[in-house]
Structure 1
Amino acid sequence: MLPQRTDVLVVGAGPTGLATALTLARRGVDVTVVDQQEQPPLTSRAAVVHAYTLEVLDRIDAAAPLVAQGVRAPRFSVRDRDRVLLAVPFHRLPTRFPYALLISQAVTEAVLTERLADLGVRVRRPCRLTGLTRTPDGIVAETDGGDVRARFVVGADGLHSAVRERSGIGFAGPAAVESFVLADVRVRSALPRDEAALFLARPGPLVWAPLPDGVVRLVAAVPTAPAQPDVAYLQTLLDERGPARRPDRVTEVLWGSRFRVHHRIADTFRSGPVLLAGDAGHVHSPAGGQGMNLGICDAVAAGTALADVLAGGPDGLLDAYAARQRPMAEDVLSFAAGLTRLATLPPAGRPVRDVLLRVLGALPPVRHRIALRLSGLSHREPGPVAPVARSNVAGLGAAG
């Protein structure tokens, strides 16, 4: 049964909603989390947690259990079949987490859910938001489980956000939609098992990312994705986009699906007592693995601002949240779109692209700037890296 009152109602229990709630609960805020799905998904499309996101998660004591379960990738490569066009090293990044952590989103959600449970907060599901009504002291959220009075509501409910729609916040972007196939597979491959790769191919980009237990995540832009890609379909993708001299061989499909991506951003991330975070505020291509990472950064920033306001801080902190996170989202949308354009250049432009990438990749300062961008550390606010408890980071500094 839902409580009749709460300080903050978080709608959506994906990584963004869970991280928001955990940030609030650790500050002693009365937070309620609802999700319309009866059970959390066991499969998910995000597979990388970048260095800046790990720093953010460490603030809420959630980085260490993730690092313990993931694959640390100290570099990222951009390839055209067998040629490495650009190798981006992470081991020199100014962070305690000099790698990309390759791990299923389902594991990320499980860790955040467990941390919340330790603080006495559980996700109320299934529970669907049906309306929002503003009041002088906050907002009434109407759900199919009853009405909840809250000081604030956080919409972390994804692309088709009911919170965003019920709040009348615009969600602008081009009409074009990208189609992607994704799958977790077992493959016989000569590619490194501690490195994610982006293959640039005329038909579209292919992401190859090793996960724990010998699993490889494949994500590819395709004109029309099958609902359940099989071995033959995924083998064809690898044959036309992946390594040629020593081709991969798919031996098993553990899970596969499809999804469509819009490129959109909310007009604002705040409307009175309503804040947006994650895909409710921004959606874009998965190129570069930025979506979930930006959502988690939104979450901790929103949770921190709300906790500060509820503790007596100025209301302007919520405006500052929106003013900081929305430009970050615009930057990530532009970055992801640029990576997609690189992959889909017409044949006449590919030789120039390949030479340019190899020239740039030979320049250490350029490689470092690209690493900062991919890792999210380019969005870090100026200042020293905050210290953390020794128990959280023991053994986490090595790059795999």
Structure 2
Amino acid sequence: MNDHEVDVLVVGAGPAGLIAAGDLARAGRSVAVLERWATPNPSSRAFAVMARTLEVLDARGLADDLLTKGQKAEVVTIFGGARIELTHLDSPYRFVLITPQTNVDAALAGYAEAQGADIRRGIEVVDLDQDRNGVTVSARPHEVDGPLVRWRAKYVIGADGAHSTVRTLVGAEFPGKTVLSSVVLADVKLARGPERGLKLGSTRQVFGFLAPYGRSDADGSWYRAMVWDRNHQVPDTEPVESAEVIDVLNRAMQTDLGVREISWKSRFHCDERQVERYRHGRVFLAGDAAHVHSPMGGQGMNTGIQDAVNLAWKLDAVLGGAEERLLDTYHDERHPIGKRVLRQSGLIARGVTLYPRVARTMRNLLLPRLLGVPFVRDAVAGSFAGTSLRYGRHGLVGTRAMPLQPAGSFTMVRKSGSAVLVRPDGYIAWAGDSAHEGWRDVLAIWSPKTSALQAH
């Protein structure tokens, strides 16, 4: 006998799991979230919220408050002084918001709970069994003695991170490799930090990256720093000394930044991995459970949130009577995006750690010139910000519908003789003549709940 029954069980209370739970609960579905750790993680590896993610958060009433808790960076300075300019983005958010992931987690937890999602912390999933009608999940308290509890759900979302238990239980391989080891993150207070935006500095031996955290006083300003030393490759368990952070950061930036204080530091390695399938019957993988990559480019948290937003409305549609095959489009649409993010982040990681002098010289000469070309500048910025990513290759269908960003329903927009049908995740499902009724056929496939259609 099952102890609990829900429409959807989410495993993992990170950004991907929480926004999926919130969206499903808002749609009227019963949702529970099981999180292994009893309290939210106080440390933050992710710190960059991209424009597309801010649009998604704004559609849920979360962006404005989050903006007060971070700092806007309109420029990312990379190799050879080349700059990724975000001020030309086709978005209300022409910048990257620098704020600790803990702030994003808190906003999304509040959203999920306000919509009625049941968040259970300190609960560890230990087994999973699915049949034609649903999934039975066995869980127990983590790190304390307690009884085994069974949950029954129609669907399960595995959003439980890079070391996903759900991924292991469904037997999904996680192929890939380590691309960087002994990378150090630290929060540092600097007397002389970058004047504007995000900055990457490197030599043949080291690299350093700085993102402003916004806290400052007469003694300096706080930054999130990332550093790496080719000649100091040690296990993740090796303690990080403050002297190491200071030395590598100053060498990478080729100046004494005047480090006043270091409040937190952590060593880690980064892999490039992606599951072959995001769907396993009634179980779906999202976020780091489905893909991990280099932190270069700040795409991890943002990609996971977009995974969840894509999946949640489709689960709601199928629970409401849409055809089961709709759920296959989650993999079809998000797997290529995940693959692109791996490639993009990997290119940046390999570019910054180039060793041959000739290759570095060519990189430093060519990249600033390329990014000075408006078309290239805007394409790179749009990919970095997530605003130019699309589902499919041609036409309006599959592109995001700006400025309209619905949350929870299909929307019909008619203008100057043309019309578009916008999905609940803000992407165009159909485009055509406003007098044409073809959108009805599309809506009947994607969502039989035509009463949810809004018109603009």
TM-score in same-fold range (> 0.5): yes
In the other structure, the counterpart of 2:381 is 371
- Given residue 311 of structure 1, which amino acid in structure 2 is its aligned partner? G
Contact 2:186 2:263 in 1 (8 A): yes
Q: Structure 1 CA distance, aligned partners of 2:405 and 2:370?
A: 35
| Aligned residue-pair number | 381
- CA displacement at 1:118 relative to structure 2: 1.9
Give the aligned CA root-mean-square deviation in angstroms. Answer: 1.9
- CA displacement at 1:356 relative to structure 2: 0.7
- CA displacement at 1:79 relative to structure 2: 4.2
1:334-376 CA distance string (max 9 Å, x none): 0111001111112232111110112213222221111111111
Query: Equivalent of 1:220, from 223, 227, 231?
Result: 227
Q: Structure 2 CA distance, aligned partners of 1:109 and 1:227?
A: 28
2:9 is the alignment partner of 1:21: no
Query: Equivalent of 1:384, from 391, 395, 401?
Result: 401
Q: Structure 2 CA distance, aligned partners of 1:227 and 1:296?
A: 32
- CA displacement at 1:119 relative to structure 2: 2.4
In the other structure, the counterpart of 1:112 is 108
Q: Which of structures 1 and 2 has the larger relative contact order (alpha carbons within 8 angstroms, sep 6+)?
A: 1
Contact 1:234 1:250 in 2 (8 A): no
2:52 is the alignment partner of 1:41: no
Query: Per the alignment, do residues 27 and 161 of structure 1 end up closer, same or farther by CA in structure 2, a change over 3 Å counting?
Result: same
The structure with the largest alpha-carbon Rg is 2
2:125 is the alignment partner of 1:123: no
**SS of aligned partner of 1:263:** strand
Query: Equivalent of 2:305, from 296, 299, 310?
Result: 296
1:115-136 CA distance string (max 9 Å, x none): 2222233421111111111123
In the other structure, the counterpart of 1:162 is 165
TM-score (norm 1): 0.90
Contact 2:270 2:294 in 1 (8 A): yes
In the other structure, the counterpart of 2:445 is none
What residue ranges of structure 1 are gaps of 5+ in the alignment? 390-400
Contact 2:206 2:248 in 1 (8 A): no
TM-score (norm 2): 0.80
- Given residue 76 of structure 2, which amino acid in structure 1 is its aligned partner? F
Q: Structure 2 CA distance, aligned partners of 1:28 and 1:337?
A: 40
- CA displacement at 1:285 relative to structure 2: 0.5
Q: Structure 1 CA distance, aligned partners of 2:17 and 2:3?
A: 18
1:118-167 CA distance string (max 9 Å, x none): 22334211111111111231110011150000000000011111111101
Query: Per the alignment, do residues 16 and 138 of structure 1 end up closer, same or farther by CA in structure 2, a change over 3 Å counting?
Result: same
In the other structure, the counterpart of 1:240 is 251
Contact 1:287 1:336 in 2 (8 A): yes
1:232-277 CA distance string (max 9 Å, x none): 2211011210143xx3111111111122222110010001100000
In the other structure, the counterpart of 2:151 is 148
Contact 1:79 1:197 in 2 (8 A): no
In the other structure, the counterpart of 1:396 is none
Query: Equivalent of 2:176, from 173, 176, 183?
Result: 173
- CA displacement at 1:314 relative to structure 2: 1.7
- Given residue 31 of structure 2, which amino acid in structure 1 is its aligned partner? V
Q: Structure 1 CA distance, aligned partners of 2:402 and 2:178?
A: 40
**SS of aligned partner of 1:209:** strand
Work out the percentage of aligned pairs sharing the same amino acid. Answer: 34
Contact 1:231 1:251 in 2 (8 A): no
- CA displacement at 1:204 relative to structure 2: 4.3
In the other structure, the counterpart of 1:271 is 280
In the other structure, the counterpart of 2:319 is 310
Q: Structure 1 CA distance, aligned partners of 2:193 and 2:59?
A: 37
Alignment of 1:132-143 (within 5 A): 132-143=128-139
Q: Structure 1 CA distance, aligned partners of 2:24 and 2:320?
A: 11
Contact 1:47 1:105 in 2 (8 A): yes
Query: Per the alignment, do residues 331 and 388 of structure 1 end up closer, same or farther by CA in structure 2, a change over 3 Å counting?
Result: closer
In the other structure, the counterpart of 2:84 is 88
**SS of aligned partner of 1:154:** strand
- CA displacement at 1:175 relative to structure 2: 5.6
